[in-house]
Amino acid sequence: MPQNESRPSPHRPWEDGWAPDTTRAPGTRRLWLAGALAVATVVACVTTIALSDRPGDEASRRTTATAPTGADARRGPGLISFATPSTPSTAATTAGAGPGGGPSSSTSPSPTPSPAVRHSTTATPSASSPVRPTPAAPAPASPRRSLRSVNYSDRYWHVSHGLVRLDPAAAGDARADSTFTVVPGLADRACLSLRTADGRYLRHRDFVLRAERDDGSSLFGRDATFCARPASAASGAVSLESVNYPGRFLRHQDFRLRLDPYQDSDLYRADSAFRFTSPLAG
């Protein structure tokens, strides 16, 4: 075989004329050793991870194999729990029982409202207007009557320009405007309404008494209905209380008839007391 002879080094020739081979790259053996070490390190890490995961998988398999199935498996602790559906026997036992052991919503009757929360259909007076409980006064025997003031005995109810005033007794044909027909109340037949000679009714609007045509509405009927109460200011006199504003009575103020809340004063009681008299108009 031919022998490869290295060329002698020009810097340091050996005694026998031999020189190292410079055709190979220096450090090749070290690179191989470093690569082998890296591969061994990777293999060791993969082996360690595989061995550490295997016991957990085995434990998980054992837990799954021994855990109860169906709805009972959901009863374990957790952030969210699900209710277990009732079995037929349980449903039969708990029939008619709702949440908390009360009646079931599917079988219990509809609850009836408590009397404390039922709303009244009529308006109630404010707390500042005390209601005076008084019995109803008897209706006048004759349907055609006039009304006279108690504390102004020479003045009568009188319709003037659509409003009701307290005026001295009129003369001639004007007496018809101070004569009214007493009829059963439009909103409550136990009370009364007052009709004028031309067919209008006395009703309050904006708490002022006036004569207007009946428009057939329920509001007009309530506004034109008053309940007569015995007046304490004079024997035989009456006070007229509104049906839709209990606690408010008709009284004169500046000789105009209006609806005001009851006041515990002698002046109010006198201003709200009237007498039914014989009709001024024949």
Per-position pLDDT tens, the chain of length 282: 555 555 555 555 555 555 555 665 556 677 778 888 888 888 888 787 777 655 544 544 554 444 444 444 444 444 444 444 444 444 334 344 444 444 333 334 444 443 333 333 334 444 444 444 455 655 555 599 999 999 999 999 999 999 999 999 987 878 899 999 999 999 999 999 999 999 999 999 999 999 999 999 999 999 999 999 999 999 999 999 999 999 999 999 999 999 999 999 999 999 999 999 999 987
Look at the block and give the residue holding tokens 């729990």: 81
Residue 193: how many CB atoms within 10 A of its CB? 24
Three-class DSSP category at 214: coil
Across the strands, what pairs with 274? 149, 238
Q: How far is 143 from 183, CA to CA, in rounded Å? A: 7
The pTM for the full model equals 0.52
Look at the block and give the residue holding tokens 């006064």: 137
Residue 20: per-residue pLDDT: 58
Spell out the alpha helix ranges (H) of the chain. 28-66, 88-93, 218-223, 266-271
Whole-number Cα distances in Å, 162 to 111, 156, 212, 257 = 50, 16, 7, 12
